[in-house]
Amino acid sequence: MTDLMIDAQQVCKSFGQLEVLKGIDLQVPTGTVTCLIGPSGSGKSTFLRCVNHLEKVTAGRLYVDGELIGYRERNGVLHEISEKEAARQRADIGMVFQQFNLFPHRTVLENIIEAPIHVKGHSAAAAKKRALELLEQVGLAHKAGAYPVQLSGGQQQRVAIARAVAMEPKLMLFDEPTSALDPELVGEVLRVMRQLAEDGMTMMVVTHEMGFAREVADTVVFMDGGKVIEAGSPEQVLDNPQEGRTRAFLSSLF
């Protein structure tokens, strides 16, 4: 591993005429937690999706663990890699979305073991053993045989996190993982994420949960208008922001 898990260099992303990311420079050291905050439409989720090449960058370079994501560089020219190569890169990057995206026709256990068996080539026995360990960690061992429809939103999101961790990723991305949950279910998901952070998982989290960002993040990044406006420790950005746009955003939350 390199010292930097994510190294974004002047990353731009456009959808037709709409420029969503306007030269993002951002470094995430290995073993740290970075929280992206900012208003809706500021580019946070788009940047997250660029990190695992769900969206192709329009310009700039994005490295994960020292590897250029989505492209090969030859003689200073970028060439897009094949979908098979992109899938290989993606297999090392876990992602948890707002919606839980569980397979409705598979049990909790089957949801978790699917990718380790078919993508990573793990044996069914090893995948099942690891899945049960992860379900124990997220407090859902008793739901291994249940189907997603039988679970609350908070339980489904915890299963989604366990499913991502089962792939043994070197990086976990969370795109507003609690925004679709009823308020009383948010805490149980944040508890699991807190434990992942304590275990040393490198994480990038798009969130509106300022309490979580304050408690868990090593770095808080405020984005607006497709740019990084301010970045620093939670104390710096949340308690003593230097930029007027950051102050205005935070004051609108409280």
Kindly state the tokens that stand for 144.
Answer: 């291994």
Give me the phi and psi of 10, to 5 degrees please.
50, 45
**Tens-level pLDDT at each residue, the chain (254 residues):** 459 999 999 999 999 999 999 999 999 999 999 999 999 999 999 999 999 999 999 999 999 999 999 999 888 888 899 989 998 899 899 999 988 889 999 999 999 999 999 999 999 999 999 999 999 999 999 999 999 999 999 999 999 999 999 999 999 999 999 998 988 899 999 999 999 999 999 999 999 999 999 999 999 999 999 999 999 999 999 999 999 999 999 999 87
Kindly state the tokens that stand for 35.
Answer: 């929280």
The number of angstroms, rounded, from the C-alpha of 91 to the middle of its chain's C-alpha atoms is 13
pTM equals: 0.93
Query: Residue 1: its pLDDT value, please?
Result: 47
**Helices vs strands, H then E, count in the chain:** 9, 12
Neighbours of 205 (CB within 10 A): 27
- Sign of the dihedral defined by the CA atoms of residues 52, 45, 43, 2, in that order: negative
Whether residue 58 contacts residue 14, with contact meaning beta carbons closer than 8 Å, is answered with yes
Kindly state the tokens that stand for 80.
Answer: 């897009």
Rounded Cα distance between 121 and 127, Å, is: 9
Neighbours of 41 (CB within 10 A): 13
Query: Residue 2: its pLDDT value, please?
Result: 57
